[in-house]
Amino acid sequence: MNKLIEKNFVLAASQYKLLEKNTPDSLMPRFFDPAGNKSGTSNTKWWCSGFFPGSLLYIYEQTKDEEIRRIAEKRLAILEKEKYYTGNHDLGFMIYCSFGNAYRLFGKPEYKEAVMTAAGSLASRYRPAINSIQSWNSSERLNCPVIIDNMMNLELLYWVSDNGGDAKYRDIAVTHANTTLQHHFRADNSSYHVLDWDLEKKEIIKKVTWQGAADSSAWARGQSWGLYGYTMMYRFSKNKAYLEQARKIGNFLLNHPNLPADKIPYWDFNAPGIPDTYRDASAGAVMASALLELGQYVSKKEKKKYVRAAKQMLLSLSSDVYLTQPGENGGFLLKQNVGSLPHNSEVKVSLTYADYYFLEALLRYKNWYLKK
């Protein structure tokens, strides 16, 4: 595994220098579609804008490649203004995955300030009437949507309160996590994707999906968001209810009859056409990273189970089926990702967040589970 991890980071450094060359200075990379040999970019307000600099920082952490650091700092500079963004709930993805890692590695006050400011921006979307952070703005289809993905953005809030910021951010994170725990999960510990709330009546209008196969299905990446989110919330709070929820989600995923032998899930655990449908490497990458952290908090027996599964995911993602060859794939790492199949958007492509959580999982495995 040590050799594999080193090899993957050498590849990552090479690929991300190529990705930098392929991306205009004012934009961020978003996807690469091998079928059309087409790259897609985004502005810095896109929810994935923090993953490119975040991945660069993980690559630098492993390789100490100064060119990679230079590129990361260049990209952070164009992203910084989004610390004021209030258009959706994704400030954690945008700012914590980028500036949070930058501050962890380099300790610069301006990096911390970006994270602190972003917490205030994210907190502006908290709705006391429903004890939740509103994910997206109201639309014709949804009144006040709260999505399972939002669990990932709580890390920003909790970290800020724990590092000199207002305690209210921690309170919001805990309250949101508790509300999600109460309403978002089914009896089998799978998660709905979207809860649509009525703010005036303080009640749920409907439980639906946006990116999954059906309202009642287990959209794969959404399940991974939940697993990661409750594991992370336990790290901060030591609330055993969060640890128990993470264990329940993990067991649901690993014991699911539709989880393939290589442990990389189909885009939805209840997708029509299984096994003749798309895999989602991004869901596998998030799941692997989450399981590696979950293994830190459980019994030796459970730890062995979670780490063994995560290792299989990393081995699978490192195979030619999912991992690119040098100089190919527009500069991205992982292939076989699904953004939103119902919208025919970013299907069987490379995506920035898949690479980010893959690199994070590789680092976690190296730092936590390889003998020094």
**Active site members:** 90, 149
Best CA proximity match to 284, nearest among 305, 248, 311: 311
* Contact criterion met (CB below 8 Å) for 179 and 241: no
In sequence order, what are the residues at sequence separation of 6 or more whose Cβ sits closer than 8 angstroms to the Cβ of residue 194? Answer: 135, 142, 145, 146, 147, 207, 208, 209, 210
* CA distances in angstroms from 53 to 298, 309, 325, 355, 359, listed in the order given: 32, 28, 22, 11, 12
Q: CA-CA distance, 296 to 286, in Å (whole number)? A: 16
Q: 114-139: string of b/e by CB count within 10 Å (b at 16+)?
A: bbbbbbbbbbebbeeebbbbbbbeee
Burial class (CB in 10 A: 0-12, 13-18, 19+), 331: buried
As a whole number of Å, the end-to-end CA separation of the chain is 13
